[in-house]
Structure 1
């Protein structure tokens, strides 16, 4: 069930944390919560167009604390839907930015602000914590709205702590015990998915092999020049600062049963064996993940997602450990800017 919450209901209501934050700050922006749920996003809205985002930057430590609790903050009314604003915001709220993210297309004029992955506008993009199929992945994510879709196009979020808590114990414990094996088949050039030359940003197989070894991936080359990689990753993650357990894997993004029926049919016609699918996943011991498990996981996400209508100039700051994000189908033009940073790693310390 999608909870599309009316933010205006809570506009002007202040939390206890903010009430003690300083009366002069309250005159410049209002703070509200999407709901009374402890993991609900905050909305911080400028009281008028003259309020500068520098007001937010001056309170950086406070907002980072709120981010670590809520998992996400929506900033509205600060005109942040452009490359320069996103770069400035990232440089204030991230210690380091992720410049090597080849899963997204860079925007002209920036070295780290990108556009979201191209995905059919009439389809729902499933929930995921960004890049957690990789050994290195970002702990912070920024989504900024340049142009809001006329219909749809929301970015639903789901709290990874709540998903972990709400999953059936048997399902959760098997994933925790076994982990997830992500299987990916890349053609040399872009076609069915991005090609290995794009993803690895090189045409040198020797360089790619060294990257695979460094990033904890098994690899092999097929006779048609395709690259096949296997990556075993944890299904859950414990936040060091709080001890919170988070459901952070991307099984629902990779498992064949989670694809739209028409796409399943197309791939079955194109591929003679499941090993030829562009993506798939198993438990890390090689055993199959039951379709019934994946159906349950999708149902839990559906029941515990939140969404809001984008407005031009909005910026959503997420803790990528605590919040998974998705994308609703949409009509009309839609342009978001994204960037990621403050990398974590699954590699043994």
Structure 2
């Protein structure tokens, strides 16, 4: 592909750079040095070419910046924000346990400070970022400090093409109405954010988050559109987390299994075929795995609990037949792409087009992540299943930041959060 830039090399990935075979040859688009590899040059380049950079992200779904001298989370943050129009997200309302900021930065998070993400024994779930929480980013940036010894790629799936693969019946059903995503007990939110229930209820009413009651317990319930119209391409795209769709993970593993051959993958394949053996042959180490899981459970008890599938609720899994699940698994593998991480790589994803997941692997893997440009969405059960995302042209504040600011000024606020961010 011919470069659209004069002062850097713009190209697609070679087969040797990819982790697994793919037909998605144009994702991600790559920018690498032509002459200067300094971060000062790159910052200036991204600022000067912001419009074209954003157009490339929209066209390809992902942009990989490779070969520049990026060595720290602070440099990653500066470079990402040098793209004009990027707004960093810090506090994320009802974010998962372990989503904590990196020291010395305003917007750079650990991918998860409590559990290993990517480069582990398991297949992570492909997902649109923050599907189970209200603050959804348009863009995600990943920065690689240390790649895995084996595997550990970030898998990318083109959700526009997955949507196109669905049968018309399912498309119509998904577009018909919003689906339940998650709910959080109001009591947990009081503990986590240090605010009384009446203040949280008033906040939720103001921002359009429904409060529901069941068996005497009040919850904040989040419903999401399953399909969005992309603000740049105007094409329809799935907006989903494939986490708890029945039998989908098993179907995906069977389709990816042929890509993991050789003795270095023997223990992984054994675990995928016989999950009950995980405690005996876990490639990540039994004690380390149990320790991470114990820390994760402790953080959840501090107020990060979420319920993802509730009886009687319309959620995506209830709309799918067994044939639909097999079709989605096949489509995900066909629309999948990845690449082998190198230290210093910076990847920018369009979260409104591309789902991602940490792929299996082995060895230490250290990544950092930034979320940018919060996308306003409807959250009620009465919302449509198809939502047209509109570029606001202004810097929006996350709901999480607004609630933190409320806590810091509210007469009954504690002045500090309780639990994980």
Q: TM-score, normalised by structure 1?
A: 0.75
How far is the alpha carbon of 1:49 from its aligned partner? 6.7
Residue 240 (structure 2) aligned to one of 249, 264, 270: 249
Alignment of 1:73-152 (within 5 A): 73-93=63-83, 94-101=85-92, 102-103=95-96, 104-117=99-112, 118-120=114-116, 121-152=120-151
Q: Does 1:201 align with 2:193?
A: yes
CA gap 1:238/1:330 in 2 versus in 1, 3 angstroms: same
How far is the alpha carbon of 1:71 from its aligned partner? 1.4
Residue 11 (structure 2) aligned to one of 16, 26, 32: 32
| Aligned residue number for residue 165 of structure 2 | 166
Q: TM-score, normalised by structure 2?
A: 0.63
User: What is the alpha-carbon distance in structure 2 between the residues aligned to residue 156 and residue 49 of structure 1?
Assistant: 29
State whether residues 40 and 70 of structure 1, in contact with CA within 8 Å, keep that contact through their aligned partners in structure 2.
Answer: yes
State whether residues 24 and 335 of structure 2, in contact with CA within 8 Å, keep that contact through their aligned partners in structure 1.
Answer: no
State whether residues 37 and 67 of structure 2, in contact with CA within 8 Å, keep that contact through their aligned partners in structure 1.
Answer: no
| Aligned residue number for residue 4 of structure 1 | none
User: What is the alpha-carbon distance in structure 1 between the residues aligned to residue 348 and residue 148 of structure 2?
Assistant: 20
User: What is the alpha-carbon distance in structure 2 between the residues aligned to residue 255 and residue 281 of structure 1?
Assistant: 13
Q: Which moves more between the two structures, 86-95 or 279-288?
A: 279-288
Q: Which has the higher strand share?
A: 1
Q: Which moves more between the two structures, 276-285 or 119-128?
A: 276-285
> For each residue in 1:148-197, what CA deviation from the matched residue of structure 2 results, as whole angstroms up to 9, or x when unmatched?
11111110111121111112222222111133112335697xxxxxx646
User: What is the alpha-carbon distance in structure 1 between the residues aligned to residue 183 and residue 336 of structure 2?
Assistant: 28
User: What is the alpha-carbon distance in structure 2 between the residues aligned to residue 125 and residue 241 of structure 1?
Assistant: 29
Unaligned runs of 5+ in 1: 1-13, 189-194, 264-275
User: What is the alpha-carbon distance in structure 1 between the residues aligned to residue 11 and residue 144 of structure 2?
Assistant: 20
How far is the alpha carbon of 1:284 from its aligned partner? 6.2
User: What is the alpha-carbon distance in structure 2 between the residues aligned to residue 116 and residue 42 of structure 1?
Assistant: 23
Unaligned runs of 5+ in 2: 15-22, 251-273, 277-304, 384-389, 391-421
User: What is the alpha-carbon distance in structure 1 between the residues aligned to residue 121 and residue 352 of structure 2?
Assistant: 28
Alignment RMSD (CA, Å)? 3.3
User: What is the alpha-carbon distance in structure 1 between the residues aligned to residue 172 and residue 71 of structure 2?
Assistant: 41
CA gap 1:153/1:207 in 2 versus in 1, 3 angstroms: farther
CA gap 1:328/1:285 in 2 versus in 1, 3 angstroms: closer
State whether residues 131 and 181 of structure 2, in contact with CA within 8 Å, keep that contact through their aligned partners in structure 1.
Answer: no
State whether residues 82 and 337 of structure 1, in contact with CA within 8 Å, keep that contact through their aligned partners in structure 2.
Answer: no
Q: Which has the higher helix share?
A: 2
| Aligned residue number for residue 72 of structure 1 | 62
State whether residues 146 and 337 of structure 1, in contact with CA within 8 Å, keep that contact through their aligned partners in structure 2.
Answer: yes
Q: Which moves more between the two structures, 304-313 or 44-53?
A: 44-53
